[in-house]
Structure 1
Amino acid sequence: MAEGHDGAAPVRAGDRIRAAARDLFYSRGFRGVGVDEIVARAGVTKPSLYRGFASKDALVVACLEDYDTGLRARLDEALAAHPGDPGAGLVAFLDGIARRSARPGFRGCGLTNAVVEYPEADHPVREAAREGKRALHARLAEVAGTLGARAPERLADALLLLVEGAFACGQIFGADGPNRSLAGTAEALIAASRA
């Protein structure tokens, strides 16, 4: 284990590998990055990588789990910032996606990118990405149920479509694109779901 720069707790090799892989995969694509580059960036050896991950695909799956955890954590943080008002929390979550997608270097959602790069229906990477999206949909449906939506699953469908559209539009248009309307669109959908 390497000690942190500030004398903090040491950073495990597996954590360094995951962090390096997440950054490289996000910026250059899953299939465009090799194991040699990951271990060089992480400052570890190949045997260290393969002690923690059975294959590059296993590392990709681990990184997808990290992307998924981060996305749902942002949803939970937005909801926590608006106690008693899950609609406002959902709007804040989508507004955060709109702001992040306008940043330079935004390359969409890592989960969605994985589905594009791994078209084989039964590939473990594609399945991990699908599971992440299913988990987000389930969480959105759960929240939709708490705000009194008549059809929580349908509202979750619509919100997930907004999220996916925002990921694509952010890459295409940047700050001047349709994502500037994301929060208002979400508010209208939420209001309509209660009518």
Structure 2
Amino acid sequence: MATNAKERLLSAAERLFYEEGIRAVGIERILSESGVGRASFYRHFPSKDDVVVEVLRRRDTLWRSWLDDRITASGRSPEELPLALFDGLAERFSASDFRGCAFINTMVETADPDSPAHRVAAAHKEKVIEVLDRLLAQAGYRDHERLARQLALLGDGAIVTALREGTPEAAVRAGGVAEVLLRAADREPVRH
């Protein structure tokens, strides 16, 4: 357990928000779970909304690091490397604590696209698209930006489907569709 009050607050909030939802968890619950007092909470965060934003920023950093690790560890060829996303999602969907995507969940709960939490969650999705776009561009795909958005759409659909079905199979199916898209896409010869 973290020793610093801010870290304890963030860890408790992240776990509770992911397990139960942002709206379902109040400040009192975060205080109780973290063991941090109210005065300390307000020294670190002016409001619950500020906690939500900080939790999402942390989770974004960790999630993208996780994706980078999956890409690095993948044995796939450069032209198939974007499919590492689906390999990683299958792994994640198998975890007993899988509750969907914290960013999708946030956008559903905070439906106002101008809210800070919604903007941070949407920005995370754009960063994932940027990672896919970079991989596709490096592999010589001509329409890499459009293809990156298509793969991200498949990934998000797989996340929601895995939550509904309770199985990692959605990642496998989405990965199969992504593979078909990659095979059909135009590529330039990559110069080494």
AA at the equivalent of 2:82: L
Greater shift after overlay, 31-40 or 82-91?
82-91
Greater shift after overlay, 20-29 or 171-180?
171-180
Identity over aligned pairs, percent: 35
Question: Which 4+ runs in 1 deviate beyond 4 A?
Answer: none
Aligned to 1:78: 70
* Aligned pair partner of 1:15 in 7, 19, 22: 7
* Aligned pair partner of 1:69 in 61, 64, 74: 61
Aligned to 2:165: 173
**What is the deviation of 1:57?**
0.3
* 1:121-140 correspondence runs (5 A): 121-140=113-132
Any idea what the Cα deviations from partners look like across 1:92-151, whole Å, max 9, x if unmatched? 221121232244442211011011001112111111111111111122211211111111
TM-score by length of 2: 0.87
Structure 2 vs 1, CA of residues 184 and 118 (structure 1 numbering), >3 Å: closer, same or farther?
A: same
Unpaired runs of 5+ in structure 2?
188-192
* 1:29-48 correspondence runs (5 A): 29-48=21-40
**What is the deviation of 1:59?**
0.5
* Aligned pair partner of 2:90 in 80, 98, 114: 98
Return the alpha-carbon distance in structure 2 between the equivalents of residues 132 and 89 of structure 1: 20
User: Is the Cα–Cα contact under 8 Å of residues 74 and 93 in structure 1 kept in the other structure?
Assistant: no
Aligned to 1:7: none
User: SS of 2:166's equivalent?
Assistant: helix
Structure 2 vs 1, CA of residues 176 and 23 (structure 1 numbering), >3 Å: closer, same or farther?
A: closer
User: Is the Cα–Cα contact under 8 Å of residues 170 and 179 in structure 1 kept in the other structure?
Assistant: yes
User: Is the Cα–Cα contact under 8 Å of residues 81 and 135 in structure 2 kept in the other structure?
Assistant: no
TM-score by length of 1: 0.86
Matched, 1:152 2:144: yes
Matched, 1:112 2:97: no
Any idea what the Cα deviations from partners look like across 1:54-88, whole Å, max 9, x if unmatched? 21101000111122122211221122124894444
AA at the equivalent of 1:166: A
